[in-house]
C-alpha cells in the first residue's frame, strides 16, 4: 500500500515538473541551488534572518591545498626499504635553541581551540589527557589558564593572546611553550567578540571577566604597536621563562615579510595556519576568501628559513585543514617539523559518541562550549578514542617511512615526493611525476609555450627590442 | 687582598672563586672545577646508559605491540596500542638523553676552555 502511494506521488510530481512552466516549477530549485551552492543558499538565508555575519563552524569547506597532487616515492632496489625490525623515530624537538626545549613523541599536536571561546571544559580535559597519553602537546587557544587543562596536559603550549587572558607571568610561567597568537587561518587577524550572554561562570573565572562583560579578541596584541615592541616582547618572554617562544599567524602572501620580523625577534618556532584552518565559528568571508593555503605557506616558509640558515634552529609548525595522515606527512616532507590538528582531533574524540546526539543535534553539541549536550561527553572514553586515533595516524606515517627507506619521520623530505602538477613542480621544487628526473628540464623547456604562451611570446620579442 | 677569579688550590685543581656582597660582608663561593667536571662526566655517562636502556625497552615494547596485535581481542588490541605508544615515548626519551648528553659535553668543553684561559692568564701574571 505504501509502495503504491509513493509511486503515485512520485509520478504526479514528475508529471507536474515536466508540464509546469519552468519559472513556476519546483524543479527550478535544482539549477538555482546548483548555481548558488547549497552552503551559500543556507548562509544567505541565515544572514537575511540575523543581519549579522554567520558564525560558520569548523572552517572553510573549500579544499585550497592540492595535497592529492603530491605522491610519495617508495624504494625497492636502488635504495632499500627500512627493515621492519627497525623502529621509526617519531620524536620532534620544538625550539631546540631554547633553554628548555619542548620534545614531543609524535609530530602531531592538538591545535589551539580555546576553552569557552570554542570548547567545553570536558572537551579540553579529554584533549589534554589524550595528548599526554601519546606524549604530545595540547594548546590552550586564546583563553586564560584553565587549571584542570594544565593539570591534565603533560606538555602544554599556551597562547599569549590578543585578549590578554594568558599574558601575565603567573599564567605564562606555567607553560611548556608560549605561542604568541597574532592570527589564525579561519579568521585572519580580525577582532572577535563573545557576547556576555554566552559566557558562563567558569568561563568568566578563567578569563577574569566582570559579570555582563563581553570577551574581546582585539586585532592587535595589547601593547604591541610596532615591530620593535614585538621583538622586545619575544626576548622578554624567552629571558623570563626559558621555554620555546613562538609566533602564530594566518598564512598570507606577505609571508616572507612577516617571517623576517619573526627571525629578527629570534622566535623559537613559527606556527603557520593555512586558509583551511578551522574555528569554532567564524565569518564565511574570512574562511573562504582570506589567507594562503597550508601547502604553499609551508613550502615558502621552509625555503625562507633555509635561505636565512635558520632550518633546524627555528621550528616550523603547520596547521590548517590537515585531515589525513598522508596530508600531515606531506606537510612534514615540505619542511614542517610538526603539525597541529583540530577538526580531525575533535571528530576522533566524539567518534563513537555521535549516536548520542543524532539525528536531532549535531555531534559538535557534545564539545562546543555553548553545546546543549556537553555534560554527556564521556571524558575518559573520548581521551581513549583520540589516543587511539593519534596512534593510528602516526603508524600510517611510519609505514610510509618504511617504504621510503627512512628511519625517522624527520628525514622525510621533498625528494621523497613527486607531483602530478607542473605548476606545483615549478612552485615547490618537487619533481614532476610525468617524466624521469633527468628529463625534468627538457620537459619544461619543450612545454613552456603550452604553459606560458604570452610570456614566451614576450620572451622571444624581448631580445629583439633590446637590440 | 682580593682573590683572583680562578686559582690553583693545594691539590692542583682549578677553583672558581666568586666574590659576592652579602648582608654581613664579603662571602667567597668556591666551586672546585675538577669536581664539577667529574660530576658532569658522571651525568653524561648515566645519560648514555639511560639512552641505551630506553632504546632497548623501546624495541621490546615494539615487539610486544606486534605480538599483541596478532590476537583478535579488543582489550589486547587496546594494550597493543598502548605498547606502541610506549615504544615511541621511549624512543623520544632516547633522543632527549642524547640531546642532554650533548649539552653536558658542551658544558665540559666550556669549563675546560675557561680553565685553560684563566690558567694561562695566571701564569702570565706570575
Mean pLDDT value of segment B76-83: 92
B54 touches chain A (CB under 8 A): no
What pLDDT sits at residue B16?
A: 52
Q: Which residue of B has its CA nearest to A398?
A: B88
Cβ separation B88–A395 shorter than 8 A: no
What is the distance between the alpha carbons of residues A7 and A14, in angstroms, rounded to a whole number? 11
Cβ separation B95–A391 shorter than 8 A: no
Q: How is residue A278 written as a grid cell?
A: 578551522
Nearest Cα of chain A lies from the Cα of B44 at a distance, in angstroms, of 18
Task: Decide: B92 and A338 in contact? Cβ < 8 Å.
Answer: no
Q: What is the dihedral of CA A305, A307, A308, A311, to 10 degrees?
A: 40
Q: Give start-end residues of each CATH 3.20.20.70 domain in chain A.
A: 67-417
Contacts of A89 in chain B (CB under 8 A): 91, 95
* Complex confidence, ipTM: 0.71
Q: Which of B62, B81, B89 sits opposite A135 (nearest CB)?
A: B89
β-pair partners for A315: A269
Q: Which of A93, A105, A106 sits opposite B99 (nearest CB)?
A: A93
Cβ separation A135–B88 shorter than 8 A: yes
Nearest Cα of chain A lies from the Cα of B74 at a distance, in angstroms, of 12
For the beta sheet containing A245-250, the strands, ordered from the edge strand earlier in sequence to the opposite edge, are A108-110, A338-341, A315-319, A269-273, A245-250, A177-181, A155-160, A137-139
Task: Decide: A411 and A417 in contact? Cβ < 8 Å.
Answer: no
For the beta sheet containing B6-8, the strands, ordered from the edge strand earlier in sequence to the opposite edge, are B6-8, B14-22, B25-32
Contacts of A134 in chain B (CB under 8 A): 85, 88-89
Which class for A407: exposed (0-12), middle (13-18), buried (19 or more C-beta within 10 A)? middle
B119 in a domain, yes or no? no
Q: How is residue A284 written as a grid cell?
A: 564565511
Q: Which residue of A has its CA nearest to B56?
A: A87
What pLDDT sits at residue B27?
A: 47
Nearest Cα of chain B lies from the Cα of A410 at a distance, in angstroms, of 12
Average pLDDT across each block of 10 residues of chain A; the chain has 467 residues. List them in order: 87 88 86 91 93 91 95 96 93 96 97 94 97 97 96 97 97 98 93 92 94 95 95 97 98 97 98 92 92 97 96 97 97 98 96 85 89 92 96 97 96 96 95 95 89 61 43
Nearest Cα of chain A lies from the Cα of B119 at a distance, in angstroms, of 29
Q: pLDDT-based confidence at B2, cuts 50/70/90?
A: very low
The owner of cell 624495541 is B59
Cβ separation B62–A387 shorter than 8 A: no
* Selected residue of A87, A155, A388, A407 to mutate for chain B interface (largest B Cβ count, 10 A): A87
Nearest Cα of chain B lies from the Cα of A398 at a distance, in angstroms, of 11
B67 in a domain, yes or no? yes
B122 in a domain, yes or no? no
Q: Which of A90, A103, A391 sits opposite B96 (nearest CB)?
A: A103
- The residues in B 1-20 lying below 8 A from A, measured between CB atoms, are none
Indicate whether B6 pLDDT > 50.
no
Cβ separation B91–A90 shorter than 8 A: yes
A67-417 architecture in CATH? Alpha-Beta Barrel (3.20)
Q: Tell me which residue range forms the domain holding B13.
A: 6-108
Q: Which residue has the higher pLDDT, B21 or B96?
A: B96
Cβ separation B92–A104 shorter than 8 A: yes
B30 in a domain, yes or no? yes
Mean pLDDT value of segment B75-88: 92
Cα end-to-end distance, chain A, whole Å: 88
Q: Which residue has the higher pLDDT, B96 or B112?
A: B96
Helices assigned H by DSSP within A110-211:
121-134, 147-152, 169-172, 201-207
Q: pLDDT-based confidence at B122, cuts 50/70/90?
A: low
* Selected residue of A105, A352, A401 to mutate for chain B interface (largest B Cβ count, 10 A): A105
Cβ separation A91–B59 shorter than 8 A: no
Q: Which residue has the higher pLDDT, B7 or A134?
A: A134
* Selected residue of A86, A132, A135, A348 to mutate for chain B interface (largest B Cβ count, 10 A): A135
Q: Which residue has the higher pLDDT, B123 or A397?
A: A397
Cβ separation A91–B58 shorter than 8 A: no
B121 in a domain, yes or no? no
Cβ separation B88–A394 shorter than 8 A: yes
What pLDDT sits at residue A360?
A: 83
Contacts of B92 in chain A (CB under 8 A): 90-91, 103-105, 135
Residue A3 CA neighbour count, 13 Å, CB half: 0
B34 in a domain, yes or no? yes
pLDDT, one tens digit per residue, over B22-63 is 444 444 455 688 889 899 999 999 999 999 999 999 999 999
What pLDDT sits at residue A16?
A: 87
The number of distinct structural domains making up chain B is: 1
What pLDDT sits at residue A453?
A: 73
B64 in a domain, yes or no? yes
Cβ separation B95–A91 shorter than 8 A: yes
What pLDDT sits at residue A330?
A: 98
Q: Which of B58, B62, B84 sits opposite A391 (nearest CB)?
A: B84
What pLDDT sits at residue A1?
A: 74
B63 in a domain, yes or no? yes
Going by C-alpha positions, the residue among A309, A362, A281 that lies closest to residue A57 is: A281
Task: Decide: A403 and A389 in contact? Cβ < 8 Å.
Answer: no
Q: Which of A103, A105, A391 sits opposite B81 (nearest CB)?
A: A391
Indicate whether B5 pLDDT > 70.
no
Q: Which of B81, B89, B99 sits opposite A105 (nearest CB)?
A: B89
Contacts of B81 in chain A (CB under 8 A): 387-388, 391
Cβ separation B92–A388 shorter than 8 A: no
Peptide bond into A46 cis (omega under 30): no
Contacts of B87 in chain A (CB under 8 A): 87
Number of neighbouring beta carbons within 10 Å of residue A352: 13
Amino acid at each position: 500500500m505504501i509502495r503504491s502511494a509513493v509511486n503515485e506521488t512520485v509520478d504526479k510530481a514528475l508529471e507536474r515538473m515536466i508540464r509546469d512552466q519552468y519559472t513556476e516549477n519546483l524543479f527550478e530549485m535544482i539549477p538555482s541551488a546548483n548555481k548558488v551552492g547549497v552552503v551559500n543558499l543556507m548562509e544567505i538565508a541565515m544572514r537575511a534572518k540575523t543581519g549579522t555575519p554567520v558564525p560558520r563552524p569548523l572552517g572553510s569547506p573549500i579544499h585550497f591545498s592540492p595535497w592529492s597532487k603530491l605522491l610519495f616515492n617508495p624504494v625497492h632496489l636502488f635504495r632499500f626499504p627500512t627493515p621492519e625490525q627497525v623502529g621509526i623515530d617519531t620524536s620532534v624537538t620544538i625550539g631546540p635553541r631554547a633553554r628548555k626545549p619542548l620534545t614531543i613523541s609524535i609530530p602531531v599536536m592538538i591545535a589551539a581551540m580555546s576553552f569557552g571561546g570554542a570548547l567545553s571544559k570536558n572537551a579540553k580535559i579529554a584533549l589534554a589527557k589524550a595528548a599526554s597519553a601519546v606524549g604530545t602537546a595540547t594548546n590552550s587557544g586564546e583563553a586564560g589558564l584553565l587549571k584542570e587543562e594544565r593539570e591534565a596536559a603533560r606538555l602544554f603550549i599556551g597562547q599569549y593572546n590578543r585578549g590578554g587572558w594568558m599574558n601575565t607571568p603567573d599564567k605564562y610561567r606555567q607553560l611548556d611553550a608560549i605561542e604568541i597568537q597574532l592570527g589564525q587561518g579561519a579568521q585572519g587577524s580580525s577582532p572577535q567578540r563573545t557576547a556576555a550572554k554566552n559566557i558562563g561562570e567558569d568561563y568568566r573565572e578563567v578569563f577574569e571577566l566582570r559579570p555582563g562583560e563581553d570577551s574581546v579578541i582585539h586585532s592587535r596584541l595589547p601593547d604591541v604597536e610596532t615591530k620593535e615592541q614585538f621583538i622586545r616582547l619575544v626576548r622578554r618572554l624567552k629571558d623570563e621563562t626559558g621555554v620555546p617562544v613562538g609566533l602564530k599567524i594566518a598564512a598570507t602572501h606577505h609571508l616572507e615579510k612577516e617571517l623576517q620580523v619573526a627571525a629578527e625577534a629570534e622566535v623559537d618556532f613559527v606556527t603557520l595556519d593555512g586558509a583551511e584552518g578551522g574555528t569554532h565559528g567564524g565569518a564565511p568571508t574570512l574562511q573562504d576568501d582570506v589567507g594562503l593555503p597550508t601547502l604553499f605557506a609551508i613550502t615558502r616558509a621552509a625555503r625562507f628559513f633555509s635561505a636565512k640558515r635558520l632550518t633546524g634552529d627555528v621550528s616550523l609548525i603547520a596547521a590548517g585543514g590537515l585531515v589525513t595522515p598522508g596530508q600531515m606527512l606531506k606537510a612534514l616532507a615540505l619542511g614542517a617539523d610538526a603539525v597541529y590538528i583540530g577538526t580531525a582531533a575533535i571528530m576522533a574524540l566524539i567518534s563513537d559518541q555521535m549516536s548520542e546526539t543524532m539525528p536531532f543535534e549535531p555531534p559538535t553539541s557534545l564539545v562546543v562550549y555553548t553545546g546543549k549536550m556537553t555534560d554527556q561527553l564521556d571524558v575518559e572514553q573520548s581521551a581513549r578514542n583520540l589516543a587511539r586515533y593519534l596512534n593510528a595516524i602516526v603508524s600510517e606515517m611510519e609505514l610510509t617511512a618504511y617504504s621510503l627507506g627512512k628511519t625517522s619521520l624527520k628525514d622525510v623530505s621533498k625528494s621523497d615526493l613527486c607531483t602530478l602538477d607542473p605548476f606545483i613542480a615549478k612552485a615547490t621544487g618537487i619533481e614532476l611525476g610525468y617524466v624521469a628526473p633527468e628529463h625534468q628540464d627538457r620537459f619544461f623547456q619543450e612545454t613552456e609555450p603550452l604553459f606560458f604562451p604570452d610570456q614566451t611570446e614576450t620572451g622571444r620579442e624581448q631580445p629583439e627590442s633590446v637590440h | 687582598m682580593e682573590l683572583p677569579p680562578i686559582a690553583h688550590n693545594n691539590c692542583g685543581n682549578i677553583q672558581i672563586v666568586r666574590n659576592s656582597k652579602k648582608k654581613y660582608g664579603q662571602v667567597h663561593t668556591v666551586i672546585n672545577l675538577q669536581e664539577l667536571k667529574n660530576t658532569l662526566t658522571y651525568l653524561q655517562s648515566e645519560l648514555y646508559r639511560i639512552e641505551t636502556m630506553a632504546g632497548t625497552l623501546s624495541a621490546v615494547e615494539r615487539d610486544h605491540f606486534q605480538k599483541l596485535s596478532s590476537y583478535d581481542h579488543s582489550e589486547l588490541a587496546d594494550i597493543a596500542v598502548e605498547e606502541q605508544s610506549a615504544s615511541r615515548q621511549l624512543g623520544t626519551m632516547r633522543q632527549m638523553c642524547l640531546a642532554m648528553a650533548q649539552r653536558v659535553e658542551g658544558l665540559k668543553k666550556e669549563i675546560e676552555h675557561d680553565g685553560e684561559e684563566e690558567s694561562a692568564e695566571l701564569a702570565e701574571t706570575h
